[in-house]
Every structure is written in structure tokens, then in C-alpha cells.
């Protein structure tokens, strides 16, 4: 093996794993963004050494010496020097702008053959809707090798959708659609973050990108958004997963402690008092379902009516799983 290919191999490996310094490079955007980043960084190193080096040199060379004169001779200016130190940075700035603009365009313009997934940001979770198949998922599941277009909006406040491994990020804005795209090459799992501070549980807006083989992806679609083996999992267990993934955990405990909302421990089947004075002898499936879809229809006494509606964000199966989970919390 010659040195060139050995180096090439090392670089390919470095790109496929995260380092202490940068996340892994899992998209063509990542390579482009990092190349420009490195260029700017090394340029800064170069000028830092040059300028600080010159400063140190002059400090030493022109330090006050016991025998020397009190003042140096006056400096009138130097046109050549001034032109050089204006024109060179000017050219570098234009170069960085043109390079960055080219990469920005590549990220902004979506290729025509992209598969579309809708993204909805909500305090404090992400929802992915597959328009053709009617699937609603807490994770972004995509087939490897397929260009994916994300059409994103928010149901409440500003969020920002960020996949570090792909180096793509864009604000998610209520009442407006923003777009991102990427092409996953390999089967892998990548982290999604929110990067716009959106309230107390902002840091828990965690979803995953799951890149599957196209066969596995077809199976996932055919199963209505359940991964293989999902059929054998008890509903309550799926409900527990949803409680975490969909951010219910931010406001509802399962150990009896009071958070923003009432605990789910012992909630099912027990009596309720509502803020408007009405009451319910026992919370049943219908009440729980209504509380998830139209939270303000009946507000539990002593709690603020701040629960967001999950209409269109959870499908019937998922609501059933959540209710089964509540039932299991005696
Ligand atoms: Cu957010």
C-alpha cells in the first residue's frame, strides 16, 4: 500500500467517526461545510502567527534602550503597505463569501427526486409525517441512498432543526414552512437537536434520524411506522417509549411527583375535579383521549391549561399505547 492510499483510508475513517473536535461527516453537505471551515480556521492560524509574530518582533526590536533616544522618528505612512493590507484581506473576504454562497446554494436548492417528509416542531418534541403513507413518527426514518426533503413548521414557538452529523440546520417557524434536504448514504443512526432556546425542556427535544436499507424501510412503511419486531411489544411498553420520545415526560411524572401537569401514577380510573367546578367519577379511555387531543376541554383543578394539543401529532395507535401505559401505572 502506498502512502497516498494509506492517507486516503485514514481520512475516510476519520470522516466516519466523531472526534473530540467534530461530529462525524455523514452527508455531502458535511464534507463541504468542513472544508470551508478548515480553510477559514487555517487562514486564521496563519495570520495569527504572522501578526502576533511581527508584534513580538517589533516589541523586542524597538524596546526602549538605556542609551537610545527618547522618541523614534515620526512615521508619515506607507501607501504600498496600506494597499497590500487592504487588498489581500479584501480578496480573501470575497473568496470566502463566494465559496460559502456556493455551499449555501447547494443546501438551499432541493434536488428534484427528493422524498418528502413533514417536520413539526412543538414544545418539546419533533413529529415526522410521511404524507404519502399517512405515517406519524417520533423519529425520522429514511432509506439509505434516497434524497430526503424536509418541509418544516412549528405549532407554537421558534425552534431550530439541527442534525450535526449532516451539518444541516434551519429555523422552524410557526405559520411558515422552511426546507432542508440531505442524502443519507449509509445505514446509521444520527442525533437531532433543537438549537433555538424554546423553553424549559428545550434540551430534551431529542429525536433520531434512522437510516435503514430500502427493504427495511419498506417493511417499516408497511407496518405503519413500526420497526420489525414491533408486533410483539406490549402496548404499555410502546406507550412508555412515546411518553419519553414525545416529551410528555417534561410535564407528567410517573412516580407520583407533581410537575407542570398531574402525575400519571394512579391517574387512570380515579376521580377528577376540574377547574370549572365539574367533576368525573373515574378517568376513563375517552377522557384520556380527549385530554390528549383537546386538552382545554377539561382542565384539571389546580393546574394551568398549558398542555399543547396533540391533534395530528399522534395517531390512534399511539394514543392507545399511551393510555395503556397510564393504566399500567397503578
Ligand atoms: Cu425547540
Whether the predicted pLDDT of 13 surpasses 50: no
What are the pLDDT digits (tens) for 83-103? 999 999 999 999 999 999 999
Architecture of domain 233-328: Orthogonal Bundle (1.10)
Q: Boundaries of CATH 2.60.40.420 in the chain?
A: 115-222
Tell me, which fold does domain 115-222 have in CATH? Answer: Immunoglobulin-like (2.60.40)
Of 31, 35, 11, the closest CA to residue 167 belongs to: 31
Place of cell 432542508: 180
The model scores a pTM over 0.75: no
Q: Boundaries of CATH 1.10.760.10 in the chain?
A: 233-328
Find the 57 Cα to ligand 1 centroid distance in Å: 50
Calculate the alpha carbon distances from 102 to 36, 37, 77 in Å. 11, 14, 39
Report pLDDT for 1.
Answer: 41
* Nine cell digits for residue 202: 428545550
Report pLDDT for 194.
Answer: 95
| Averaged pLDDT, 112-116 | 91
Find the 314 Cα to ligand 1 centroid distance in Å: 18
Whether the predicted pLDDT of 27 surpasses 80: yes
What are the pLDDT digits (tens) for 262-319? 999 999 999 999 999 999 998 999 999 999 999 999 999 999 998 989 887 888 888 9
Q: What phi and psi, each to the nearest 5 degrees, are found at residue 107?
A: -80, -30
Torsion sign (Cα): 258, 264, 270, 274: positive
Architecture of domain 20-65+77-108: Orthogonal Bundle (1.10)
What are the pLDDT digits (tens) for 147-187? 999 999 999 899 999 999 999 999 999 999 999 999 988 89
Above pLDDT 70, what percent of the chain? 93
Distance CA 279, CA 241 (A): 30
Say if CB 118 and CB 242 are below 8 A apart. Answer: no
Whether the predicted pLDDT of 110 surpasses 70: yes
Report strand pairing: 189-194 vs 159-163: antiparallel
What are the pLDDT digits (tens) for 218-275? 888 887 776 645 566 788 888 898 898 788 998 999 999 998 999 999 999 999 999 9
| Averaged pLDDT, 40-50 | 95
Place of cell 444541516: 168
Whether the predicted pLDDT of 128 surpasses 50: yes
Q: Boundaries of CATH 1.10.287.90 in the chain?
A: 20-65+77-108
Find the 192 Cα to ligand 1 centroid distance in Å: 11
Whether the predicted pLDDT of 2 surpasses 70: no
Find the 19 Cα to ligand 1 centroid distance in Å: 26
Find the 207 Cα to ligand 1 centroid distance in Å: 11
Find the 210 Cα to ligand 1 centroid distance in Å: 20
Distance CA 85, CA 74 (A): 21
* Nine cell digits for residue 262: 398531574
Find the 198 Cα to ligand 1 centroid distance in Å: 5
Find the 127 Cα to ligand 1 centroid distance in Å: 12
Amino acid at each position: 500500500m502506498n502512502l497516498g492510499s494509506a492517507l486516503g483510508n485514514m481520512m475516510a475513517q476519520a470522516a466516519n467517526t466523531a472526534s473530540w473536535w467534530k461530529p462525524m461527516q455523514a452527508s455531502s453537505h458535511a464534507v463541504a461545510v468542513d472544508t470551508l471551515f478548515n480553510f477559514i480556521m487555517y487562514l486564521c492560524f496563519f495570520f495569527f502567527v504572522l501578526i502576533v509574530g511581527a508584534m513580538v518582533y517589533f516589541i523586542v526590536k524597538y524596546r526602549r534602550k538605556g542609551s537610545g533616544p527618547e522618541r523614534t522618528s515620526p512615521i508619515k505612512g506607507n501607501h504600498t503597505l496600506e494597499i497590500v493590507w487592504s487588498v489581500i484581506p479584501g480578496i480573501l473576504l470575497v473568496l470566502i463569501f463566494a465559496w460559502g454562497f456556493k455551499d449555501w446554494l447547494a443546501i438551499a436548492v432541493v434536488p428534484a427526486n427528493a422524498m418528502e417528509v413533514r417536520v413539526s416542531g412543538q414544545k418539546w418534541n419533533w413529529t415526522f409525517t410521511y404524507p404519502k403513507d399517512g405515517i406519524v413518527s417520533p423519529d425520522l426514518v429514511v432509506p439509505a441512498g434516497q434524497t430526503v426533503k424536509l418541509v418544516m413548521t412549528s405549532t407554537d414557538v421558534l425552534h431550530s432543526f439541527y442534525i450535526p452529523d449532516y451539518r444541516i440546520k434551519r429555523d422552524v417557524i410557526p405559520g411558515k414552512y422552511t426546507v432542508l434536504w440531505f442524502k443519507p448514504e449509509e445505514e446509521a443512526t444520527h442525533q437531532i437537536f433543537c438549537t433555538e432556546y424554546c423553553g424549559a425542556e428545550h434540551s430534551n427535544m431529542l429525536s433520531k434520524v434512522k437510516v435503514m436499507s430500502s427493504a427495511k424501510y419498506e417493511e417499516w412503511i408497511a407496518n405503519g411506522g413500526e420497526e420489525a419486531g414491533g408486533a410483539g411489544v406490549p402496548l404499555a411498553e410502546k406507550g412508555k417509549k412515546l411518553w419519553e420520545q414525545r416529551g410528555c415526560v417534561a410535564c407528567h411524572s410517573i412516580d407520583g411527583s407533581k410537575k407542570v401537569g398531574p402525575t400519571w401514577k394512579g391517574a387512570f380510573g380515579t376521580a377528577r375535579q376540574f377547574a370549572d367546578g365539574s367533576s368525573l367519577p373515574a378517568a376513563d379511555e375517552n377522557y384520556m383521549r380527549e385530554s390528549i387531543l383537546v386538552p382545554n376541554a377539561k382542565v384539571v383543578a389546580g393546574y394551568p391549561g398549558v398542555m399543547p394539543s396533540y391533534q395530528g401529532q399522534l395517531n390512534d395507535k399511539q394514543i392507545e399505547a399511551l393510555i395503556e401505559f397510564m393504566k399500567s401505572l397503578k
